[in-house]
């Protein structure tokens, strides 16, 4: 018998999608039965009380967590999100319900052995509930008490060789798409770069030293499977410089219907026979492709590398061999001054170990933003306030037409004094000699 | 809200052990908190950080950014963590009696 009646939540056990309510109830039952004789370090009924307080929120349409919470482990300024229930007497099991961010492996590949060890620790010292994974990428442990934090951290680091993720005004946990591990579109090793940068900047990740949060994300190609251009202050997106590789025989196989377009992604509906002209050539954003009935040609110097043709005919068209990435800066959610996506800063950068070219851009950005950024100002906002030109100056990058979607339409143009003959020091009396008042 | 009695003084604190009112701060508070913040002996350097945080808070009504704390005290962030193992926010601000840091932490 459950500890609290949850009539509203019970409705969410119906329907075909995996029910979080059924899962939490199952965990609540398992904790109660305790088949493995675990010496639970936080209340046994934590899951019951979580469902209870959630049901209460469903009833009155309000959250029941108190504001904020500052807890953590010694040596770090982040990694744990403290949280307290605002009805601790009624739901003592969740009086403390802190969240622990655990740094996940790049691409989120796991072995069951590792996950079992993580879960053994979390069963023992936490609620047994998780979020796989947080939006930033962390493996998230949902719900434990303050005295358990150092205990969890000790076991995590000493026995599982695993660290906490980031939180606060610092570098947050980086994340990457699956990259070259299982994608033929990947233009660089996203997982390795993510891993490398995570290790390189551990200090910046664990001890908040920035004006505000800062995120890295690494996409292997412009498809953006980790959405770096929207969800990271520093977005690295793979691309190539040379020609798209065309296998004409394979193109013919698509036209003949032997290969399915988009690898069969639209096969649940009848879209008719594949029409290369209509579905590829005519949809190319720059119109740089042509099909003469037997041969597909691409005017590569006009190609934006948008991925559409490659996505549609992956067996016939392949990324080029001269690979690297573009760097975009400044994406953020709306608060305070409006949402931003990343703006192109570096059109092409080689992405090879030890990744010095990428790190140089990062460190130049940080030097500037750490000095100039206002309290709680994302780098995207600093760029808006001080200007894109300033960003180019501090990164030592030359302005390039690719830095803009279109040139400015207003004429409020600043000039540097040294670029204007005669400078700014002018004598009104000299002017008056030629122009009477 | 809990109340702590220490060396004849009473302090109202929240769940995270932050003072509810800055005005309640007294040197005894620092003595009381230091152990839970992993500090054995208070040095002049600790005091320098605490003094600066309090001055800045009285003058500006907020805690200083980490960068400003470093600049004024001359202590690099690494050294601030050596002094206050849980960092400038949870460690130093709590001991100085400043309000609990907020936002997306």
Distance CA A208, CA A376 (A): 12
Same domain, A103 and A128: yes
Mean of pLDDT values over A331-335: 97
* A172 touches A215 (CB < 8 A): yes
Structure tokens at A14: 């119906």
Mean of pLDDT values over A162-184: 97
Task: Find chain B residues with C-beta within 8 A of A69's C-beta.
Answer: 15-16
Same domain, A198 and A298: no
Same domain, A269 and A392: no
Which of A68, A101, A204 to probe by mutation at the B interface, max B CB count within 10 Å?
A68
Distance CA A76, CA A166 (A): 9
Taking an 8 Å cut-off on Cβ atoms, the answer to whether B16 and A69 are in contact is yes
Residue A337 lies in a domain: yes
Taking an 8 Å cut-off on Cβ atoms, the answer to whether A77 and B88 are in contact is yes
Q: Examine the pLDDT at A1 and tell me if it is beyond 80.
A: no
A169 SS3 class: coil
Q: Examine the pLDDT at B105 and tell me if it is beyond 80.
A: no
Distance CA B49, CA A98 (A): 28
Task: Find chain A residues with C-beta within 8 A of B94's C-beta.
Answer: 70
Same domain, A278 and A361: no
Summarize pLDDT for A60-82 with one digit per residue, the tens. Answer: 999 999 999 999 999 999 999 99
CB-based contacts of B52: which residues, under 8 Å, 6+ apart? B64, B69, B72, B73
* A241 touches A324 (CB < 8 A): yes
* A57 touches A64 (CB < 8 A): yes
- To the nearest whole number, what is the mean pLDDT of chain A? 97
CATH of the domain at A292: 3.30.70.20
Number of domains in chain A: 3
CB-based contacts of B18: which residues, under 8 Å, 6+ apart? A70, B93, B94, B98, B99, B100
Same domain, A188 and A144: no
Among chain B residues, CA nearest to A67: B102
Same domain, A306 and A328: no
Could you say which of A84, A209, A376 has the minimum Cβ distance to residue B15?
A: A84
The verdict on whether omega for the bond into residue A176 sits within 30 degrees of 0, i.e. cis, is no
Same domain, A232 and A375: yes
Task: Find chain A residues with C-beta within 8 A of B66's C-beta.
Answer: 169, 208-210
Residue A419 lies in a domain: no
Residue A436 lies in a domain: no
Same domain, A216 and A99: no
Among chain B residues, CA nearest to A98: B16
Record the pTM: 0.95
Distance CA A131, CA A116 (A): 15
Domain spans, chain B? 2-96
CATH of the domain at A106: 3.30.70.2500
Distance of residue A115 Cα from the nearest chain B Cα, in angstroms: 27
* A261 touches A294 (CB < 8 A): no
Summarize pLDDT for A120-151 with one digit per residue, the tens. Answer: 999 999 999 999 999 999 999 999 999 999 99
Q: Which helix (H) or strand (E) holds A81?
A: strand A80-81
Taking an 8 Å cut-off on Cβ atoms, the answer to whether B38 and A74 are in contact is yes
The A343-349 sheet, strands edge to edge: A175-176, A216-219, A234-240, A323-329, A343-349
Could you say which of A71, A203, A376 has the minimum Cβ distance to residue B103?
A: A376
Distance of residue A69 Cα from the nearest chain B Cα, in angstroms: 7
* CA nearest neighbour of A28 among A12, A4, A60: A4
In which region does residue B38 sit, left (phi positive, over 0), alpha (psi from -120 to 50) or beta (all else)?
left
User: Count of CB contacts below 8 A, A vs B?
Assistant: 68
Same domain, A135 and A232: no
* CA nearest neighbour of A385 among A318, A308, A327, A330: A330
Same domain, A309 and A360: no
**Residue A335, domain extent:** 175-238+324-403
Same domain, A83 and A206: no
CATH superfamily of B2-96: DsrC protein, C-terminal domain (1.10.10.370)
Active site residues of B: 104
Taking an 8 Å cut-off on Cβ atoms, the answer to whether A72 and B67 are in contact is no
Summarize pLDDT for A197-240 with one digit per residue, the tens. Answer: 999 999 999 999 999 999 999 999 999 999 999 999 999 999 99
Residues of A with CB under 8 A from a CB of B: 66-78, 81-82, 84, 96, 167-169, 203, 207-211, 213, 370-371, 375-376
At B103, the pLDDT band (50, 70, 90 cuts) reads confident
- The DSSP code for B63 is P
Task: Find chain B residues with C-beta within 8 A of A168's C-beta.
Answer: 89, 104-105
* CA nearest neighbour of B97 among B4, B6, B7, B24: B24
Could you say which of A82, A167, A209 has the minimum Cβ distance to residue B16?
A: A82
Residue A282 lies in a domain: yes
At A257, the pLDDT band (50, 70, 90 cuts) reads very high
CATH of the domain at A367: 3.30.413.10
Interface ipTM: 0.91
Residue A413 lies in a domain: no
Which residues of B, range 29-68, sit inside 8 Å of A by Cβ?
38, 62, 65-67
Among chain B residues, CA nearest to A203: B78
Could you say which of B65, B78, B105 has the minimum Cβ distance to residue A168?
A: B105
Q: Examine the pLDDT at B90 and tell me if it is beyond 90.
A: yes
Taking an 8 Å cut-off on Cβ atoms, the answer to whether A70 and B105 are in contact is yes
Taking an 8 Å cut-off on Cβ atoms, the answer to whether A77 and B87 are in contact is yes
CB-based contacts of A430: which residues, under 8 Å, 6+ apart? none
Summarize pLDDT for A281-300 with one digit per residue, the tens. Answer: 999 999 999 999 999 999 99
Mean of pLDDT values over A30-59: 98
* A64 touches A86 (CB < 8 A): yes
Residue A165 lies in a domain: no
Summarize pLDDT for A361-378 with one digit per residue, the tens. Answer: 999 999 999 999 999 999
Distance CA A256, CA A254 (A): 5
Task: Find chain B residues with C-beta within 8 A of A81's C-beta.
Answer: 105
B102 at A interface, C-beta within 8 A = yes
Residue A361 CA to its chain's centroid (Å) = 18
Same domain, A54 and A106: yes
* CA nearest neighbour of A137 among A186, A205, A69: A205
What's the pLDDT score for residue A2? 86
Taking an 8 Å cut-off on Cβ atoms, the answer to whether A72 and B86 are in contact is yes
What's the pLDDT score for residue A61? 98
Residue B20's φ and ψ, nearest 5 degrees, are: -75, -30
């Amino acid at each position: 018998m459950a500890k609290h009646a949850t009539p509203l939540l019970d409705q969410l056990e119906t329907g075909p999608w995996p029910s979080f309510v059924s899962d939490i109830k199952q965990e609540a039952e398992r904790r109660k039965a305790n088949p493995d004789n675990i010496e639970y370090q936080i209340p046994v009924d934590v899951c019951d009380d979580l469902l209870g307080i959630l049901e209460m929120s469903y009833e009155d349409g309000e959250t029941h967590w108190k504001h904020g919470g500052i807890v953590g482990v010694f040596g770090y300024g982040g990694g744990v999100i403290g949280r307290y229930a605002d009805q601790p007497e009624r739901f003592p099991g969740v009086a403390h319900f802190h969240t622990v961010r655990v740094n996940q492996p790049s691409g989120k590949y796991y072995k069951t052995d590792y996950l079992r060890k993580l879960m053994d620790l979390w069963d023992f010292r936490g609620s047994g509930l998780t979020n796989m994974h947080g939006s930033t990428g962390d493996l998230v442990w949902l719900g434990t008490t303050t005295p358990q934090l150092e205990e969890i951290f000790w076991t995590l680091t000493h026995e599982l060789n695993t660290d906490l993720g980031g939180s606060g005004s610092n570098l947050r946990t980086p994340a990457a798409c699956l990259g070259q591990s299982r994608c033929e579109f990947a233009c660089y090793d996203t997982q390795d770069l993510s891993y490398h940068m995570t290790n390189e900047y551990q200090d910046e990740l664990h001890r908040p030293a920035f004006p505000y949060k800062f995120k890295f994300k690494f996409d292997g190609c412009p498809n953006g499977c980790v959405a770096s251009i929207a969800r990271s202050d520093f977005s690295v997106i793979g691309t190539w410089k040379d020609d798209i590789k065309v296998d004409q025989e394979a193109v013919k196989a698509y036209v003949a219907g032997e290969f399915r377009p988009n690898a069969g992604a639209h096969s649940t509906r009848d879209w008719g026979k594949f029409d290369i002209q209509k579905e590829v050539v005519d949809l190319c954003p720059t119109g740089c492709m042509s099909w003469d009935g037997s041969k597909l040609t691409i005017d590569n110097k006009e190609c934006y590398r948008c991925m559409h043709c490659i996505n549609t005919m992956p067996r016939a068209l392949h990324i080029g061999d001269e690979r690297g990435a573009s760097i975009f800066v400044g994406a953020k959610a709306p608060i305070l001054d409006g949402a931003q996506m990343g703006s192109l800063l570096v059109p092409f950068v080689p992405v090879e170990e030890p990744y010095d070219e990428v790190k140089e851009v990062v460190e130049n950005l940080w030097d500037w933003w750490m000095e100039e950024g206002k309290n709680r100002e994302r780098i995207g906002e600093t760029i808006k306030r001080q200007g894109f030109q300033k960003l180019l100056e501090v990164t030592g990058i030359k302005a390039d037409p690719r830095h803009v979607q279109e040139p400015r339409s207003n004429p409020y143009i600043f000039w540097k004094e040294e670029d204007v003959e005669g400078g700014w020091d002018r004598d009104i009396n000299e002017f008056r000699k030629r122009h009477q008042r | 809200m809990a109340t702590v009695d220490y060396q004849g003084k009473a302090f109202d604190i929240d769940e995270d052990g932050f003072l509810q009112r800055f005005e309640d701060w007294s040197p005894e508070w620092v003595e009381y908190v230091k152990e839970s913040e992993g500090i054995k002996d208070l040095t002049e350097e600790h005091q320098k950080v605490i003094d600066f945080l309090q001055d800045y808070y009285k003058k500006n009504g907020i805690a200083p950014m980490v960068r400003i704390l470093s600049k004024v005290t001359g202590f690099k962030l690494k050294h601030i963590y050596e002094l206050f193992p849980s960092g400038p926010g949870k460690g130093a601000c709590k001991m100085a009696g400043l309000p609990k840091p907020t936002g997306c932490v």
